[in-house]
A and B are shown apart, each in its own frame.
Chain A
Amino acid sequence: MSDKSSSSNASGFNRRAFMAAAAGTAVAAPLTARAAGPAATPSAAQDPQLPVDLTLRVNGQNRQLNLDARTTVLDALRERLGFTGSKKGCDHGQCGACTVLIDGRRVLSCLTLALVAQGHEITTIEGLADGDKLHPMQQAFIDQDAFQCGYCTPGQIVSAVACVKEGHANSDDDIREYMSGNICRCAAYPNIVAAIKQAAPEILKG
Chain B
Amino acid sequence: MQPFVFQSANDPSAAMQALAASGGNNVTEAPVQALAGGTTLIDLMKLDVMRPSTVIDINPLSGAWSQINLEGENLRLGAMARMADVAAHPEIQKAYPVVADSLKLAASAQLRNMATLGGNVLQRTRCTYFRDISYGNCNKRNPGSGCAAMEGVNRMHAVLGTSDQCIATYAGDFAQSLIALDGTVEIIGKSGTRSIAFAQLHRQPGNSPQIETTLAPGELISGFMIPGRWPRSVYLKARDRQSYEFALASAAVALDMQNGVVRDARLALGGVATVPWRAREAEGLLKEQKFDDALAERVADAAFAGATPRHHNAFKIALGKRVVARALYQAATMEV
Residues in chain A within 8 A of chain B (CB atoms): 27-33, 35-37, 39-42, 46, 48-49, 52, 68-70, 72, 91-93, 96, 99, 105-108, 111-113, 115-116, 159, 162-163, 166, 168, 176-183
Contacts and interface: CB of A to CB of B under 8 A. Distances in A.
A64 to B, nearest CB: 17
Contact of A39 (B11, B14, B88): B14
A11 B81 CA distance: 37
Q: For the side of the interface on B, what is the size category?
A: 35 or more
B7 A39 contact: yes
A163 B109 contact: yes
B9 interface: yes
Contact of A108 (B13, B14, B15, B110): B110
Contacts, number: 130
Given A42-B54, A106-B110, A113-B35, A28 B6 contact: yes
Given A40-B21, A106-B110, A181-B108, A31 B35 contact: no
B95 interface: no
Contacts of B3: 48-49, 68-70
Contacts of B10: 30-32
Contact of B244 (A30, A31, A42, A180): A180
B101 to A, nearest CB: 12
A178 B53 CA distance: 36
Chain B CB within 10 Å, residue with most, of A72, A111, A179: A111
Contacts of B150: none
Chain B CB within 10 Å, residue with most, of A31, A96, A105, A180: A31
A94 to B, nearest CB: 8
B53 A31 contact: no
B38 A111 contact: yes
B107 interface: yes
Interface string B39-74: 100110111000001111101000000000000000
Given A36-B18, A93-B39, A30 B8 contact: yes
Given A36-B14, A68-B3, A91-B46, A107 B110 contact: yes
Given A36-B18, A106-B113, A107-B114, A181 B107 contact: yes
B4 interface: yes
A93 B111 contact: yes
B43 A92 contact: yes
Given A31-B15, A33-B13, A36-B14, A52 B6 contact: yes
B5 A42 contact: yes
Contacts of A91: 46
A123 B333 CA distance: 45
A162 B109 CA distance: 10
A92 B46 contact: yes
B17 interface: yes
Given A42-B5, A111-B38, A113-B57, 11 more contacts: A27-B5, A31-B7, A33-B14, A48-B4, A69-B4, A70-B1, A107-B113, A108-B110, A111-B37, A112-B114, A159-B109
Interface in B234-254: 242-244
Interface of B is mostly: mixed
B18 A31 contact: yes
A168 B111 CA distance: 16
Nearest to B47: A92
A177 B8 contact: no
A115 B60 CA distance: 12
17 contacts: A30-B10, A31-B14, A40-B18, A48-B5, A49-B3, A69-B5, A70-B4, A93-B39, A99-B110, A107-B113, A107-B114, A112-B42, A113-B6, A113-B55, A176-B242, A181-B108, A181-B244
Given A27-B5, A36-B14, A180-B244, A116 B21 contact: no
A27 B13 contact: no
Nearest to B14: A31
Contacts of B108: 96, 180-182
Contacts of B9: 31
A52 B15 CA distance: 21
A36 B6 contact: no
A41 B32 CA distance: 10
Nearest to A42: B5
A35 B134 CA distance: 40
A35 B18 CA distance: 11
Contacts of B43: 92-93, 111
A29 B108 CA distance: 32
Contacts of B53: 42, 48
Interface in B220-238: none
Contacts of B21: 40-41
Contacts of B18: 31, 36, 39-40
A112 B7 contact: no
Contacts of B13: 33, 36
A112 B13 CA distance: 24
Contact of A177 (B14, B47, B113, B243): B243
A40 B17 contact: yes
